[in-house]
């Protein structure tokens, strides 16, 4: 695989290798501390990562950059390509990525519009990783989410998992990627989408796609769409995946008026083994009080980004 644009680009073997490598990195980091980084510091020596971000980012850009630096590589890039690159002077995405691909070994891009990542990949001479394209996809976040789920639900505990996506399920690219990815796995039996009707009404073709993905992997996923936050659904959910309103892409009143806030009372309704995920950044949909709930895992999920992205850079740079 040369580029990583969509979770649909990933085969099972590649996913499984990334999960194992990231797990190994995380475990070794825990036990070896500083020695761990020293042992890795030649892996990507003399390789150059270019980060070209047209939208704001904290986790994606910095964890990719940290991953490359820890493995002995170098990094150049811009966190605001929309303002500080020649895009501002009218240069196309294709020209931008064609040119910069001549300067480095691998690129992570973040894009304003769905489809831009494909355009950039078509023009790039080196592997291009989609770090999020508009409301399109965010495949590396989905791998981090999957890694975090597998940590809590390893193979022997992963059966009949019920997942609820709560919030901006149409315009959040992390939902778009993770739901596609989870639909492949037979251990996921139910996927619920809770959000305002105005967002849910735009999910029709996506739900059809989820159904087809599951069918192509020889199993069935029951999915349900709900326009109101249902305590009953949350009470039966193993994994809640919350997203903020993507206000940079739309304005939907229902999401902004507090109807979909995941309160501590709702968190307490989940089974004891439940998992609360959020790709972050969060707004008011996930109050800080929930951080104290033992099911809250989103800061660990963000921390996992480093290990998964180390594994990804290694896999894509060295093949």
CA atoms within 13 A on the CB side of 67: 28
β-partners of residue 239 are 163, 275
Stretch near ligand CP under the rule CB under 6 A, chosen from 160-168, 180-188, 251-259, 274-282: 274-282
Q: Which of 26, 51, 60, 180 is catalytic?
A: 60
Stretch near ligand CP under the rule CB under 6 A, chosen from 29-37, 55-63, 215-223, 234-242: 55-63
Q: Which is nearer to ligand CP, 114 or 198 (CB)?
A: 114
- Work out the burial of residue 35: count CB atoms within 10 Å of its CB; fewer than 13 is exposed, 13-18 middle, 19 or more buried: exposed
| Near ligand CP by CB under 6 A: residue from 23, 51, 57, 192 | 57
| Near ligand CP by CB under 6 A: residue from 6, 23, 51, 60 | 60
- Should residue 279 be labelled a site residue for ligand CP when binding is judged by CB under 6 A? yes
H or E stretch covering 75: strand 74-78
Name the DSSP class of 73. -
H or E stretch covering 131: strand 128-133
250 in catalytic set: no
- Should residue 255 be labelled a site residue for ligand CP when binding is judged by CB under 6 A? no
- Should residue 109 be labelled a site residue for ligand CP when binding is judged by CB under 6 A? no
- Should residue 180 be labelled a site residue for ligand CP when binding is judged by CB under 6 A? no
Q: Which of 3, 26, 47, 110 is catalytic?
A: 110
Stretch near ligand CP under the rule CB under 6 A, chosen from 157-165, 208-216, 235-243, 277-285: 277-285
DSSP per-residue string spanning 148-208: HHHHHS-GGG-SSEEEEEES-TTT-HHHHHHHHHHTT-TTEEEEEEE--HHHHTT-HHHHH
138 in catalytic set: yes
Smallest distance, ligand CP to C-beta of residue 139, A: 11
Cβ neighbour number for residue 205 with a 10 Å cutoff: 7
H or E stretch covering 241: strand 239-242
- Should residue 59 be labelled a site residue for ligand CP when binding is judged by CB under 6 A? yes
Rounded Cα–Cα distance for residues 37 and 57 (Å):
25
- Should residue 141 be labelled a site residue for ligand CP when binding is judged by CB under 6 A? yes
Please give the torsion angle defined by the CA atoms of residues 153, 158, 160 and 162, in that order, rounded to the nearest 10 degrees. Answer: 20
Stretch near ligand CP under the rule CB under 6 A, chosen from 18-26, 58-66, 121-129, 179-187: 58-66
User: What does the radius of gyration of the chain's CA atoms come to, in whole angstroms?
Assistant: 19
Smallest distance, ligand CP to C-beta of residue 109, A: 12
- Should residue 282 be labelled a site residue for ligand CP when binding is judged by CB under 6 A? no
243 in catalytic set: no
- Should residue 80 be labelled a site residue for ligand CP when binding is judged by CB under 6 A? no
Rounded Cα–Cα distance for residues 22 and 9 (Å):
19
Contacts with ligand CP by CB under 6 A lie at 57-60, 132, 138, 141, 279-281
Please list the active-site residues.
59-60, 89, 110, 138
């Amino acid at each position: 695989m040369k580029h990583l644009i969509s979770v649909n680009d990933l085969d099972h073997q590649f996913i499984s290798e990334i999960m194992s490598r990231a797990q190994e990195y995380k475990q070794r980091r825990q036990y070896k501390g500083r020695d761990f980084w020293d042992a890795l510091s030649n892996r990507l020596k003399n390789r150059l990562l270019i980060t070209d971000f047209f939208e704001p980012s904290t986790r994606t850009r910095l964890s990719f950059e940290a991953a490359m630096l820890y493995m002995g590589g170098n990094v150049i890039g811009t966190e605001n390509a929309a303002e500080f690159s020649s895009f501002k002077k009218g240069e196309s995405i294709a020209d931008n990525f064609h040119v910069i691909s001549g300067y480095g070994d691998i690129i992570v891009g973040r894009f304003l519009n769905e489809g831009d990542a494909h355009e950039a990949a078509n023009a790039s001479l080196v592997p291009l990783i989609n770090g999020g394209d508009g409301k399109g996809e965010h495949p590396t976040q989905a791998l981090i989410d999957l890694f975090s789920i597998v940590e809590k639900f390893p193979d022997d505990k992963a059966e009949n998992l019920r997942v609820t996506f709560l919030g901006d399920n149409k315009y959040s690219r992390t939902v778009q990627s993770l739901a596609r990815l989870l639909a492949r796995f037979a251990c996921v039996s139910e996927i619920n989408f809770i959000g305002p009707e105005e967002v849910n009404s735009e999910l029709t073709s996506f739900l059809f796609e989820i159904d087809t993905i599951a069918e192509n992997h020889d199993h069935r996923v029951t999915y349900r769409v709900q326009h109101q936050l249902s305590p009953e659904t949350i009470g039966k959910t193993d994994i809640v995946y919350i997203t903020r309103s993507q206000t940079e892409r739309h304005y939907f009143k229902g999401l902004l008026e507090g109807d979909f806030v995941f309160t501590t009372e709702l968190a307490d309704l989940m089974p004891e083994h439940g998992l609360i995920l959020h790709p972050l950044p969060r707004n008011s949909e996930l109050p800080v009080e929930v951080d104290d709930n033992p099911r809250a895992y989103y800061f660990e999920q963000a921390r996992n980004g480093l290990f998964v992205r180390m594994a990804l850079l290694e896999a894509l740079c060295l093949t």
